[in-house]
């Protein structure tokens, strides 16, 4: 697993299959010879294998696993945008991972993005030391600027935001630890 605070290495595969293909290698002179799989060029063949390896093409990568990876990437993007500290980011990721997205989802309503934002809002609310708080029932003047900016850039209705926030509030069971008690008893 990669450290989310560091950029992901481009040359390493991110799937369980550890084979690396370099389909865009223009230095190699593969020529125009036909391959046994009927791809016209070696480059096309290795591009196709690379897509299989990343799970973009074919049935080798389970859809559930791909969806889970995509959803966690959404949460990571939201937490990074909100400048969450590593600890809160990790907690938000765990809570999001166990959230029942299928039960919460609705057409033209709650989706993975708004769920990620609202879980981050609840984690921020439960740990006020950090200062990133959002509650859809408060006036905009008392909201965190990054939450407001993010939500204003997305097309969610206020009723959807409130509904998802209430679900996230009931879902998140995490209580922050007061580290001062452990350091100075």
pLDDT digits (tens, 9 = 90+) for 1-39: 557 777 665 655 555 655 555 555 555 544 555 555 555
Whether residues 96 and 33 share a domain: the answer is no
**At CA 4, angle to CA 121 and CA 128, rounded to 5?**
30
Expressed as residue numbers, the domain containing 146 is: 63-175
Whether residues 135 and 165 share a domain: the answer is yes
- The whole-number pLDDT of residue 25 equals 56
- The whole-number pLDDT of residue 113 equals 94
Rounded Cα–Cα distance for residues 98 and 80 (Å): 20
Q: Which helix (H) or strand (E) holds 95?
A: helix 86-97
Whether residues 133 and 168 share a domain: the answer is yes
- The whole-number pLDDT of residue 147 equals 93
Rounded Cα–Cα distance for residues 102 and 100 (Å): 6
Helix (H, G, I), strand (E, B) or coil at 27: coil
Whether residues 123 and 50 share a domain: the answer is no
- The whole-number pLDDT of residue 169 equals 92
Whether residues 94 and 136 share a domain: the answer is yes
Give the HSE-up count for residue 97: Cα atoms under 13 Å, Cβ half-sphere: 11
Mean pLDDT computed over 59-76:
80
Confidence grade of residue 149 (pLDDT, cut at 50, 70, 90): very high
Burial 11-32 (b: 16+ CB within 10 A, else e): eeeeeeeeeebebeeeeeeeee
Rounded Cα–Cα distance for residues 164 and 156 (Å): 11
For position 94, which CATH number holds?
A: 1.10.472
Domain count, the chain: 2
Q: Give the residue from 63, 158, 167, 69 showing the smallest Cα distance to 121.
A: 167
Whether residues 85 and 167 share a domain: the answer is yes
- The whole-number pLDDT of residue 107 equals 77
Mean pLDDT computed over 140-150:
91
Alpha helices in 105-175 (DSSP H): 112-126, 145-152, 158-171
pTM of the predicted structure, to 2 decimals: 0.65
Rounded Cα–Cα distance for residues 67 and 112 (Å): 10
Whether residues 52 and 70 share a domain: the answer is no
Rounded Cα–Cα distance for residues 109 and 89 (Å): 24
Whether residues 71 and 113 share a domain: the answer is yes
Task: Compute the radius of gyration of the chain from its Cα atoms.
Answer: 22
CB count in 10 Å sphere of residue 171: 18
Tokens of 123: 């984690």
- The whole-number pLDDT of residue 166 equals 93
Residue 6 lies in a domain: no
Whether residues 90 and 171 share a domain: the answer is yes
């Amino acid at each position: 697993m990669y450290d989310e605070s560091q950029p992901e290495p481009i040359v390493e595969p991110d799937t369980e299959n550890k084979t690396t293909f370099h389909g865009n290698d223009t230095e190699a002179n593969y020529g125009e010879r036909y391959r046994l799989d009927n791809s016209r060029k070696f480059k096309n063949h290795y591009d196709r294998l690379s897509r299989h390896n990343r799970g973009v093409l074919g049935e080798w990568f389970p859809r559930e696993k791909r969806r889970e990876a995509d959803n966690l990437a959404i949460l990571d993007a939201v937490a990074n945008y909100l400048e969450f500290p590593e600890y809160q980011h990790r907690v938000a990721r765990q809570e999001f991972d166990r959230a029942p997205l299928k039960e919460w989802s609705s057409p033209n309503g709650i989706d993975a993005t708004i769920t990620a934002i609202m879980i981050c809002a609840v984690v921020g609310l439960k740990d006020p030391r950090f200062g990133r708080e959002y509650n859809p029932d408060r006036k905009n003047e008392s909201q965190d600027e990054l939450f407001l900016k993010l939500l204003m850039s997305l097309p969610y209705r206020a009723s959807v935001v409130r509904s998802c926030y209430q679900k996230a509030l009931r879902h998140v069971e995490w209580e922050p630890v007061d580290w001062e008690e452990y350091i100075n008893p």
